[in-house]
Structure 1
Amino acid sequence: MTDHRSAPDPHSTDRPSEDTLGRVPEWLRRPAPEVEPGRGDRLRIALGGHSGKLLGGVVVLALLAFFGLVGGLGYQGFQRWREPAAEHPTVGLPIGEQASSSASPPPAAGPFDGTPAAGFPEGAAGIALPRAKRTGPFTEKQVADTLAKVRKALITARLDRTFFTAKDPERLVRQFAPDARAGVRDDFPTGEAGTYATRLAPGARLTDDQPRVKGRISYRATKDRDGIRILEVTTNFVWAYAFPTTSPTPGDGVLVVHDTVKWSTPHPADVTTASAGLWIERADSYTSNIDCAALDKGLLALGKPSFGGPADPDPDAVFDPDKTVDLPDTC
């Protein structure tokens, strides 16, 4: 016969009585109130309901992003590995206030800055004489005397500011042989003297800066077309003059003359006393950045900036003594 009475609780002896615990407070006997789930709770519930699919998608996206990043870094690293490493020396940054240079270049310190003439010697320092030695029928002393005469004439003709503006050219003319002076004097009214002498146009003036000079001098013993023995001296110089200008562009105030001149002194045994001394056999020149109207008269004045000629587009060519002076007329 089955007994339908409840089976005794095997742990009843271990459960403390209400008297032992004391009276349970009333608020513990009440059921917990239902609280409306918040936004965070709803999100957690939603994630919980779709944990399988959504979590899997999130993991896939994270893995893709990770491998994409690693792949990108790996490609960049590969590219760097393929290219040779470049050396870039660095210095530690100083402590304190700092300033970086601006993109604008500093203003030019002088009129020749920014042109090849900035590295040329100043004035007569650029006229160096070769060592004098016996050449053909000319003694060492005769060679030295001729070289000294040519240098003195160059200084007067191209560097003497008093001569540049003098009413007459006698400061230079009297340095030639007596028989040569008339021809030299006649070169000035026609403008031919501009190939070997500097004369400023009315109103033109130079800055206080010394002209810059670069070139060379050579000599040889030869004969002229009349068979007279002569010591021929060839000078090849670039003369750069600075004129006042408001232009900030380097070189805009620089006028350049490049000349080659063949000077000579005849052997004293072959000529009369009046013909003994300095002569000019030939002179050629090229001028840039010049006023063309003044050039037609053999005078110098600053013109429009224009270095180089149509046959030589290099703007620095006119500063090079090794370049030809036989360039097309740009005036």
Structure 2
Amino acid sequence: MGLGESLPDDVWERFVQDSERDIRISQAPKEPSARARMVTERLRQQDARGERPPAWRADPVGPRANGRGARRRKVWTVVGIPLALVVAVVAMKPSLLPGDPFGTDSNPNSDAALGAGSQTAAPLPAETAPETAAPAAAPGTPTLDEPFAGSPAARYADGAAGIVLPEAKAVGAFSKEQVAEALEQSRTLLVGANVDRGTLLGNTPETVLGEVLDPKQPELVDDLRSWLRKPGKDHDPLRFFSRFDLGEVRLVGDVVKTRGRTTFEAGKDGALDIHVDYTFVYALAPADPDSTEVARTIVRRVIDLRLLNPAKYEATPGRLAVIRYDDDIANSACDVHDGFLHPRLASGGPAGAPPSGPAVDPYDRSRDIGDGSGGSGGSSDSGGSGDSGGEPCGTVSRT
């Protein structure tokens, strides 16, 4: 059929009728589905309650959305750059953060480690090498509740916990297990002589004399027992034991503060040599129960012990021989030889000789002792008298 030709009348009429029917069907109202009715009802209820549909809380679309996104990107750019700089600086130097939350301060005597004026300072890590300087000044004033306030000892460990032994290994003629047992014996000696409450109150330290020291070492055990029974200038038990006179003072609390280190090495003829260097700090008050005065006495002991090779020497298995012992006693009356330490109290007590000689810091563990450089102690070889009468009665810079 050409473009100029017209449709037959019956065909055109049928086309018109079909088109009108289709239009009526497409425009006729439809029954909403169950889901549509449920959504409609929920929207009606929200509108009655004055609530906005969730879609109204959504971010807009189109140009407005692009504008808000751009503003957000701009804000994060402004905030993110300085924040990244701060993170980078803290990563390079974490100590800039208050309180050193990452534990990066390696100086145990720094203000941060000392607590910046707080009487409750962080405890010191175990001493694993000789200290190189005296500890910093400590804040606070001692009281019956806080007897170590104002002293570096506030950060020392309590009693036997401060005697940290090195890891054992086979040395000389001895296995790793035998070395470990000998190291434990050295700790038992230190605790029994300087921490045990019975010893501090004047009792005989039987654990040290009967279980640690070798009875086959000529005269030492017998001498120590004799010194305890009858102390004197030439046989002073304080050279080995810490003891106090209950008629004069009382111990404050149950804690003796302890700091030091233990080392060992192979000795002569397959022996095991153990070196101990420890400071013990005692808090004391007058015997008068109503007194609130607090004083501290500081005792440092350096002892060389030896586990002899039984194949070379006559020795008791598992017992230690004492090769040398040094002591340094601070804040105790000088030239009083009754077998007790006598802290200097403001309220009085045995005066002894007046302090003389240079002032020494008893907490300075970087200095050697036994060289006459202060304190009331000296040094002695095993079996010697332990006489320190020739030493000056040193002045201490703090207690």
TM-score tier by shorter-chain length is 0.5 to 0.7
Aligned to 2:330: 288
| Counterpart Cα distance in 1 of 2:345 and 2:357 | 15
Q: Deviations over 1:1-34 (max 9, x none)?
A: xxxxxxxxxxxxxxxxxxxxxxxxxxxxxxxxxx
| Counterpart Cα distance in 1 of 2:237 and 2:320 | 16
Deviation at 1:303, TM superposition (A): 1.7
Q: Deviations over 1:59-105 (max 9, x none)?
A: xxxxxxxxxxxxxxxxxxxxxxxxxxxxxxxxxxxxxxxxxxxxxx8
Q: 2:275 aligns with which of 227, 234, 239?
A: 234
| Counterpart Cα distance in 1 of 2:277 and 2:322 | 14
Which is bigger in relative contact order (C-alpha 8 A, separation at least 6)? 1
Aligned to 2:357: 310
Aligned to 2:173: 137
Q: 1:218 aligns with which of 260, 263, 267?
A: 263
Aligned to 2:214: 177
| Counterpart Cα distance in 2 of 1:169 and 1:158 | 10
AA aligned opposite 1:286: D
Name the larger-Rg structure: 1
1:260 partner SS? strand
| Contact kept? 1:146, 1:278, Cα under 8 Å | yes
AA aligned opposite 1:267: N
AA aligned opposite 2:210: R
Are 2:256 and 1:194 equivalent residues in the alignment? no
Structure 1, unpaired ranges of 5+: 1-104
- Change in Cα spacing, 1:243 to 1:272, as seen in structure 2 (3 Å) is same
Deviation at 1:136, TM superposition (A): 2.6
Are 2:308 and 1:271 equivalent residues in the alignment? no
| Contact kept? 2:193, 2:208, Cα under 8 Å | yes
Aligned to 2:11: none
Aligned residues with identical type, % of pairs: 26
Are 2:299 and 1:254 equivalent residues in the alignment? no
| Counterpart Cα distance in 2 of 1:319 and 1:208 | 21
- Change in Cα spacing, 1:213 to 1:107, as seen in structure 2 (3 Å) is closer
Deviation at 1:278, TM superposition (A): 1.3
Q: Deviations over 1:97-152 (max 9, x none)?
A: xxxxxxxx888551110011111111111000001011233221121111011111
Are 2:367 and 1:323 equivalent residues in the alignment? yes
Q: Counterparts of 1:60-139 in structure 2 under 5 Å?
A: 110-139=146-175
1:149 partner SS? helix
| Contact kept? 1:238, 1:258, Cα under 8 Å | yes
AA aligned opposite 1:168: T
Are 2:253 and 1:208 equivalent residues in the alignment? yes
| Counterpart Cα distance in 2 of 1:107 and 1:149 | 34
| Counterpart Cα distance in 1 of 2:245 and 2:330 | 15
Deviation at 1:192, TM superposition (A): 3.7
CA RMSD of aligned residues (A): 2.8
Deviation at 1:165, TM superposition (A): 3.0
| Counterpart Cα distance in 2 of 1:259 and 1:322 | 14
| Contact kept? 1:292, 1:303, Cα under 8 Å | no
| Counterpart Cα distance in 2 of 1:107 and 1:158 | 22
Q: Counterparts of 1:148-163 in structure 2 under 5 Å?
A: 148-163=184-199
AA aligned opposite 1:256: I
After superposing the two structures, state which structure 1 stretch, 268-277 or 202-211, moved more: 268-277
Scaled by the length of structure 1, the TM-score of the pair is 0.58
1:244 partner SS? strand
Q: Deviations over 1:227-270 (max 9, x none)?
A: x542111111110000015577xxx6110001111111101222
AA aligned opposite 2:258: V
Aligned to 2:17: none
Deviation at 1:162, TM superposition (A): 1.0
Deviation at 1:157, TM superposition (A): 0.5
AA aligned opposite 1:179: K
1:258 partner SS? strand
- Change in Cα spacing, 1:219 to 1:193, as seen in structure 2 (3 Å) is farther
Structure 2, unpaired ranges of 5+: 1-139, 347-354, 375-391, 395-399
AA aligned opposite 2:330: S
1:152 partner SS? helix
Aligned to 1:80: none
